[in-house]
């Protein structure tokens, strides 16, 4: 290959890579920000706790009271 052709090929590939990166950046900016894992885990634990307390009341048992 001659240098001119190689230069055009590299220039085209670089333009494709930049366009792909711009698309990914735009898609990432449009997503809702994710909550940190500790926040998600805490919310899950709260839901489980509420569910367990509700199950205790419906089953005719007294809910467990904290000491």
The number of C-alpha atoms within 13 Å of 47 and in the hemisphere containing its C-beta is 6
Contact yes or no for 23/16 (Cβ under 8 A): no
Neighbours of 56 (CB within 10 A): 13
Taking only the tens place, the pLDDT of each residue in 3-52 is 999 999 999 999 999 999 999 999 999 988 889 999 999 999 999 999 88
State the Cα–Cα distance between residues 34 and 28, nearest whole angstrom.
Answer: 11
Burial of 59: CB neighbours in 10 Å, binned 0-12, 13-18, 19+: exposed
Residues found in the chain:
67
The pTM assigned to this predicted structure is 0.47
Question: In the predicted model, what is the mean pLDDT of residues 57-61?
Answer: 56
In the chain, where the domains are located: 1-31, 35-67
């Amino acid at each position: 290959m001659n240098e001119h052709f190689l230069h055009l090929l590299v220039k085209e590939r670089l333009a494709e890579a930049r366009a792909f990166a711009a698309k990914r950046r735009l898609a990432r900016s449009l997503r809702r920000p994710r909550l940190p894992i500790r926040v998600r885990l805490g919310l899950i634990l709260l839901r489980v706790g509420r569910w367990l307390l509700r199950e205790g009341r419906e089953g005719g048992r007294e809910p467990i009271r904290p000491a």
